[in-house]
Amino acid sequence: MTRPSRVKIVLAFAAVYVLWGSTYLAIRLAIDTLPPFLMTGTRFTLAGLILFTWAVLKGERFIPPLHLWRRAFVIGGLLLLGGNGGVVWSERYVATSLAALLVSTEPLWVVVLNWAISRQRPNWKVLLGVLIGLVGVAMLVGDGLRSNGHSKSSLIAGGVVLMASFCWAAGSVYSNRRPFRVSTLMAAGMQMLAGGVLLLLLAVVTGDPLRLNLANASWTSIGAFVYLLVFGSLVGFTAYSWLLNNVAPARAATYAYVNPVVAVLLGWLIANEPLTRQMLIAAAVIISSVILITTFGREHTPTVHDSECPTPPCA
């Protein structure tokens, strides 16, 4: 097998680091004038349809078995409806940087869920990582509440982001334990289609279609939607899938350390979001905990490759 060039590897990592890290800001821009659940449901339905069609053209079955679709709806519901949908809703009330850092706690929830399911206690280094991560979350939430004047909406939104991170972890654990026997491309397409449909149903229930007014939608929001569809879902996923086949999964999974940093910097530079000293300290604490958990507890933190899960909650 020919070793890929360093240039290709660097470009793929740049795509995963920057594009996935930028999706938090893109979501905020998209929901400025587009209904949140309708926007994200449409995005994932279209992305899933494209990936599903691509997989079929590459030789996959046109009509996957019913049991795989049931599994896709469970995983898509946890990852995209609960995970991505929760983040999208919350970004109306909290800064993108705060949302990104709270989402980065997902490996903590994976450890807790695997511990509860398997009854196998993680090693002390992983437990230390969980404890450090919880301290970072407490610092981050406290700082975020002060920045928002201890508003009730920001408190609720912060809690919803943590629940979204938990849903993403649950979907990852379920997918890891009940893997798809199809290509990663087909699995991603089915999960995005299923999650997108569920998000569109939620959009109908919450009245998003009635709030859609394309005449009043800004070009910034429309451009952000297209950016999320093309670069967040399709280009980012393709680059990550390529990395999984060409570098060690542990190297590919380093996006978990970098994406929150990119999100914080972009929120500060472009959206004029506050960047306090406590936020920087909390970010360092949380990212340190993620490094501890993913380095010393691989059996407790399945990577995207292990779980056949295409993207982090906002990609």
The pTM of the full predicted model, rounded to 2 decimals, is: 0.85
| Per-residue 3-state assignment (H helix, E strand, C coil) for 80-102 | HHHHHHHHHHHCCCCCHHHHHHH
Give CA separation, 281 vs 29, 45, 92, in Å: 27, 38, 24
How does pLDDT run across 223-279, given as a tens digit for each residue? 999 999 999 888 888 888 788 778 766 677 677 778 888 888 898 899 888 878 887
More confident residue, 67 or 5: 67
Residue 313 pLDDT: 53
For the chain, the average pLDDT equals 83
Q: Smallest Cα–Cα separation from 259: which of 188, 191, 314? A: 314
Class of residue 42 by CB neighbours under 10 A (exposed 0-12, middle 13-18, buried 19+):
buried
Residue 315 pLDDT: 62
310 confidence band (pLDDT: 50, 70, 90): very low
Residue 1 pLDDT: 53
The percentage of the chain sitting over the pLDDT mark of 90, rounded to a whole number, equals: 33
Class of residue 306 by CB neighbours under 10 A (exposed 0-12, middle 13-18, buried 19+):
middle
Mean pLDDT of 18-31: 93
Mean pLDDT of 86-94: 92
CA torsion 165→169→170→176, rounded to 10°? 160
Mean pLDDT of 124-149: 74
Residue 145 pLDDT: 56
46 confidence band (pLDDT: 50, 70, 90): very high
> Are the C-beta atoms of 280 and 261 separated by less than 8 Å?
no
